[in-house]
Copies of this chain bind each other. A is one copy, B any other.
Amino acid sequence: MSGCPFGHTGDPGSNPAEAERRGESAGVERSGEPAAVVNSREASDGGAGAAAGTATKGMSRRGLLSLAGVGGAGAVAGLAAGFLAHDALTAGAAAADTSTGESVVPFFGDHQAGITTPAQDRLHMAAFDVTTEDRKELIKLLKDWTAAAEAMTTGNPTGRTGAVDGPYDAPPEDTGEALDLAAAKLTLTFGFGAGLFEKDGKPRFGLDGRRPEALIDLPHFPGDDLQPGRTGGDIVIQACADDPQVAVHAIRNLARIGFGKVRVRWSQLGFGRTSSTSRAQVTPRNLFGFKDGTNNLKVEDNTLLDEHVWVGSGPAGEQWMTGGSYLVARRIQMHIEIWDRTSLREQEGLIGRTKGAGAPLSGGDELPHPISPWPAVTAIP
């Protein structure tokens, strides 16, 4: 389940040329999970065919992925993308899936947009540290962000005067680089990290007892090499759009509105295949050349969404999370040069599917007909 592409990116943490020279290339994988503890792709996609029986000469698919973290690009952020509108910290919530070829995805709705919204092409995600300790300032910021997010997701500039209609002797309210661009299906999804609720053992912003029990720190994964500067954060904003300049403009202007109250901790650009230039609905391929996401939950299945994506009613302190979800973002380094020297047989054995059609090696098509229920996640890999 993924609201927008967190698939392949220029690796802002290293020089790509250097990465290629040392036999590595960077990719990013994102999974938005019902719980913040499991990477769906590892559990559901790599589980069945991959591990069992296929000769690996000391190499495993998980090794190719996870050991990549040794190179220094790993990062984990456990963040609650909750129902901002239902919280005391009033912000906006948005429709689940209302884009129908139009350029505007509504910001307000039963759920936040950008979670089950059909994946846009481009991503800019930023995590912020909240530097103020003033609850009123935080509330004001979230209200300002809500107004700006509503404006930008409808293709308008931020502020009352936008990019060019303000006082001539003041800096413009909006930075202007999206002036001639459409809304491009921009979605802005806001999430709260553990650090918003408490820091150094002390509750913040009067949010004592409001941190959801499910919002735990991720356990250590084999190969993890977490960099503190690219890990965690008090608030995350995921901007997805079909135009990268629209996504970048949104994060930039939200960061600008937050000046003095929040500080960008890390940010990440990303892209997937451009849906408008490929056959619609085809499962996208990752940098290993394999279809990736075959077993993802299908948006159409409301029962499974309620079970695995949307948070139901919880304890008293967590009512604000009802209808929200959890997000896990992981940067994963893919050793593509090693992969590129691996035989087709071994590649397919490691993935458990054919490279061309994406069908299970055990037979059949990529997608069963009708689509079978998504297997419940029963173990942390």
Contact = CB atoms under 8 A, between A and B. Distances in A.
A352 to B, nearest CB: 16
A244 interface: yes
A276 B266 CA distance: 30
Interface in A270-308: 271-274, 276-279, 282, 284-290
B286 A16 contact: no
Given A17-B267, A273-B181, A273-B245, A176 B289 contact: yes
Contacts of A15: 12-13, 229-230, 266
Interface string A337-352: 0001111110100000
A289 B179 contact: yes
A11 interface: yes
Contact of A12 (B12, B21, B163): B12
Given A164-B344, A176-B355, A9 B8 contact: no
- Copies of this chain per assembly: 2
A20 B278 contact: no
B229 A182 contact: no
Contacts of A163: 289, 355-356
Given A12-B15, A176-B289, A271-B245, A277 B168 contact: no
B355 A245 contact: no
B168 A345 contact: yes
Interface in A235-277: 242-246, 248, 252, 255-256, 263-269, 271-274, 276-277
Contacts of A184: 274, 277
A163 to B, nearest CB: 6
A90 interface: no
A126 interface: yes
Interface residues of A, number: 83
Contacts of A340: 171, 175, 256
A30 to B, nearest CB: 16
A182 B278 contact: yes
Contacts of A255: 20
A230 B17 CA distance: 8
A175 B336 contact: yes
Nearest to A289: B176
A341 B343 CA distance: 55
A179 B285 contact: yes
A200 interface: no
A180 interface: yes
Interface in A322-368: 336, 340-345, 347, 354-356
B336 A252 contact: yes
Contact of A16 (B167, B177, B179, B267): B267
Nearest to A265: B17
A102 to B, nearest CB: 11
Interface in A204-222: none
11 contacts: A11-B12, A12-B12, A12-B14, A122-B271, A163-B355, A170-B343, A175-B287, A177-B287, A177-B289, A178-B285, A243-B274
Counting from the closest, the 6 A-B pairs by CB-CB distance are A176-B289, A243-B274, A10-B269, A17-B266, A164-B356, A10-B10
